[in-house]
Amino acid sequence: MNTRIRVYFYVFLMGLFLIVGCKAGNNTVTNKKNTNTSVSSTWRPRFVPETAANASASSSASEIPATNSINLQINTLLDSIAYYNKFIDKAMGYRVIVYSGINREDANKVKEKIYKRFPDIDVYTTYKQPSFKVKVGDFFTRLEAQKMYNQLRNNFPNVLVIEDEIIIHR
């Protein structure tokens, strides 16, 4: 019962605030031209057109040349970034995995086949116990790796595109 009284009290207060807040007041001023101007317009900023006196004062301010140039600072920063980027030799990219198995001889045979068919591409053999993996290429995008995948899948049945750390060739 106590909560019911509170609800009615809050509804009554909200209604009272609504009635008092919406009370018609004398918020408009009528001038001789019969245009209504809101009281809030007295607080709004007004645009004053530039006169000859104001124009001469503003033109002298715009003629001051800039003393500090940020271009030198930006060039210095870009040079330092380029210097540090010279030492980065690895990045995340994509490779095509051609063989994954426990037999070293099979991994070497697959590697030789790839070298015969694609002499310009890099082939990597990795051993992580208990399996050997033969990976092909250093590709920045998956699309480049997919092109190599399409060329290899006719000769090798278990070809996959994987995300791996690649070597950046300069």
The model's pLDDT over 45-57, given as tens digits with 9 standing for 90+, comes to 676 776 655 555 5
If one counts every other C-beta atom within 10 angstroms of the C-beta of residue 153, the result is 14
Give the CATH number for residue 156: 3.30.70.1070
Asked whether residue 163 is assigned to any structural domain, the reply reads yes
In a domain, 67, yes or no: no
At residue 170, the 3 state secondary structure works out as coil
Is 161 in contact with 96 (CB distance < 8 Å)? yes
C-alpha to C-alpha distance for 95 and 141, rounded to whole angstroms: 10
Q: Residue 130: is its pLDDT beyond 80?
A: yes
pLDDT level of residue 63 (50, 70, 90 thresholds): low
Q: What pLDDT was estimated at residue 42? A: 64
More confident residue, 152 or 19: 152
Q: Give the count of domains, the chain.
A: 1
For residue 14, tell me if it sits in a domain: no
Structural domain contains residue 82: no
Is 152 within the bounds of a domain?
yes
Q: Which residue has the tokens 């009284």?
A: 5
Instruction: Residue 146: name the closest of 160, 135, 158 by CA.
Output: 160
* Residue 148 CB neighbours (<10 A): 20
Say if 72 falls within a structural domain. Answer: no
Decide if 21 is inside a domain.
no
Is 57 contained in some domain?
A: no
Alpha-carbon distance of 83 to 79, in angstroms, equals 6
Q: Which domain holds residue 144?
A: 90-167
pLDDT tens for each residue of 88-123: 889 899 999 999 999 999 999 999 999 999 899 999
Q: Which DSSP state fits 168?
A: P
